[in-house]
Chains A and B, each alone.
Chain A
Amino acid sequence: MSSPRTAKGKKPGYFVDPATDKLLQMVITLAGELSVVRDRLDLVERLATEAGAFDRAMLETLQLSDADKAERDASRADFVARTLRVINQDLEEITNPEARGFEELVPILGKTD
């Protein structure tokens, strides 16, 4: 047996599109999980400091090499691009013909018959 997770009763919607209600729930759940990870990372840093692995202050003072920086910059740029992909998609369809939307491709494919 496990505890029920859904409350019996009215299920009010708040936005014009019900999908927005679900998306908000997902965003808050993700924010919660991120907060959990941040707490855990904080704990790991404290434990590492206590164990003498490194001093927490080094997180602020450590100088990265140029190669290290380049690696992190690329990783961060990729993260931003993936996160904002939903917004970039419209633009991509215009600027990158390879990524044209299905609706646009249907007539083109049709001509190949």
Chain B
Amino acid sequence: MTGQLQHRMLPVGKRDEVARQDFVTALRAHMQATLMPGNKAVYEARTEGVFVAQHGRKPANRQEVASVMKQDPYYQFWSALQRVSQQAIWDSVADTIDREHDALKAAADALVAKNPAGGTLTLDPDLPIPDYVTAADIHLMPGGYVGNDASEMRQGPLYDRGLYLYLDGRCGPENDGLVHLMHQVLQWFSTGFNPKRILDLGCTIGNSTVPWKRFFPDAEVVGIDVSATALRYAHARAEALGVKVAFVQDNAEQTKFEDGSFDLVTSSLLIHETSAKALPRIFAECRRLLAPGGIMAHFDVPQVRDLAPLEAFLASWEEENNNENFSHLIRENDLSVIAYAAGWPAGSISQPAVAMTGDVYIRNDDSPRQVTWNVMLGQA
């Protein structure tokens, strides 16, 4: 691992701050490689037996697995450690940001004034922020995506560095590996597809927006998000990387853009952070925004409905313990059913199985979970 790309907007930690981040990384790597597989061993050795003794049969679903696993001391410790380590990620970065805040803000102002890549930032202070974004701090990131003060430069750099630590670099030096994978999937779906106008929904800090401009340099690339502070950082970050993107504060459920004005409408890890009401609106909005022949492409967390009960239970940990409060919606439902109900024509949705190990950026994972990304494509 070569480490995260040190662009101008990424805060530079002092030695002890970096040492804390290194510790969290080591802790989580140990948990993933050694302790996580222990859950399966414990389940097979004793926990499944507890359920069988009570009910005379094996657990049939993740809820039944939960009823015995949550009582098991090994799982309790693993789960508690997982929660503590998730909190420690953000805490290990927040010290750096508190110390560097004013310098980061000045760096952003300088980059925006110089505007080397020619990107833009359009904010809408009157845009309502959806409840599913603010009800809880998703992934336990204190302050969430929106933060307390939109003029500050905290939540953006916190997410940029924290996401890298969370992924342990699995998505590359710029946290953009999912789009590298999605680009391959798009070429498989529509050979030679060359969009002229691309919209990235729920783009936060633009880590999955910038790579689209790199893959399609002639395209106009737009990223939208409801968070002004995330977009401020996204704009400065993209300028620091020398990549032209237009960032706009807008809501993916109902945007300000005209009908048929994009060739590709995409999202990376957005939809599991929305809600049951929002998701059909987002799918309908994608269809409205696409020009004829245009493609909708969403890339999201794995589904659990096809997994064995134990694997489904473990994959659902994030929902209850990591403030992915609405993620059961996409983990347990067929997204194509929701898209068709939202107006997509019958047969227009494709859901290829994309292995988590299928790309140079996606490192081979020793965990017992055999899961695939949740990929959904639709052609208008």
Contact = CB atoms under 8 A, between A and B. Distances in A.
Interface of A: 1-10, 12, 14-15, 20-21, 24-25, 28-29, 31-32, 35-36, 39-40, 43
A43 B14 CA distance: 14
A10 B323 contact: yes
A10 B326 CA distance: 13
B154 interface: yes
A7 B136 contact: yes
A79 B174 CA distance: 45
Interface in B11-39: 15-16, 19-20, 22-24, 26-27
A9 B136 contact: yes
Interface string B320-340: 110101000000000000000
B142 A40 contact: no
Contact of B19 (A21, A24, A31, A36): A36
B195 interface: no
B49 interface: no
Contacts of A10: 136, 320, 323, 325
Contact of A40 (B19, B90, B149): B19
Interface residues of B, number: 43
30 contacts: A1-B101, A1-B149, A3-B142, A3-B143, A3-B154, A4-B142, A5-B90, A5-B142, A7-B136, A7-B137, A7-B142, A7-B323, A8-B135, A9-B325, A10-B136, A10-B325, A12-B83, A12-B321, A14-B76, A14-B77, A20-B80, A21-B80, A24-B81, A24-B84, A28-B27, A32-B88, A36-B19, A36-B20, A39-B15, A39-B19
Nearest to A8: B137
Q: Which of A7, A8, A12 has the most B CB atoms < 10 Å from its CB? A: A7
Q: Which of A5, A8, A40 has the most B CB atoms < 10 Å from its CB? A: A8
A40 B16 contact: yes
Given A9-B323, A10-B136, A14-B79, A28 B85 contact: yes
A35 B148 contact: no
Nearest to B95: A3
B160 to A, nearest CB: 14
The 7 lowest CB-CB distance pairs between A and B, nearest first, are A9-B136, A14-B80, A7-B137, A35-B23, A7-B140, A4-B142, A39-B19
B98 interface: yes
Contacts of B22: 35, 39
A24 to B, nearest CB: 5
B23 A8 contact: no
Contacts of A12: 83, 320-321
A1 B80 contact: no
Nearest to A35: B23
B91 interface: yes
A9 B137 contact: yes
B320 A9 contact: no
Nearest to A12: B321
Contacts of B143: 3-4
A6 B137 CA distance: 9
B136 A31 contact: no
A14 B83 contact: yes
